[in-house]
A = this chain, B = another copy of it.
């Protein structure tokens, strides 16, 4: 694994981790008023396509990161629909 693959892995870890504070905050406060449902729905569709593209590039960071991001987006969609 070279320096760029390490940066790719780091990118995967950070953008994956990035959604967790939002999931935690939304889960704890049940406040979804300012969240855009359109954003998270489009985001879920988009990261699903990134997963497919990641398989094509044989890029493990892309595949893993986007799968976890897809789960986070789905969770936020669920919370938005539950607490709207």
- A→B interface (CB under 8 Å): 4-5, 7-8, 10-11, 13-22, 25-26, 29, 31-36, 38-40, 42-43, 45-47, 49-50, 52-53, 56-57, 59, 61
| 27 pairs of residues in contact across A and B, judged by CB atoms under 8 Å | A4-B56, A8-B49, A8-B50, A10-B49, A11-B46, A11-B49, A14-B42, A14-B43, A14-B49, A15-B43, A15-B47, A15-B50, A18-B38, A18-B40, A19-B43, A20-B39, A22-B36, A25-B34, A25-B36, A26-B34, A26-B36, A29-B34, A32-B34, A34-B34, A34-B35, A35-B35, A57-B57
| Nearest-CB residue, chain B, relative to A11 | B49
Total copies of this chain within the assembly: 2
| Nearest-CB residue, chain B, relative to A66 | B11
| Nearest-CB residue, chain B, relative to A8 | B53
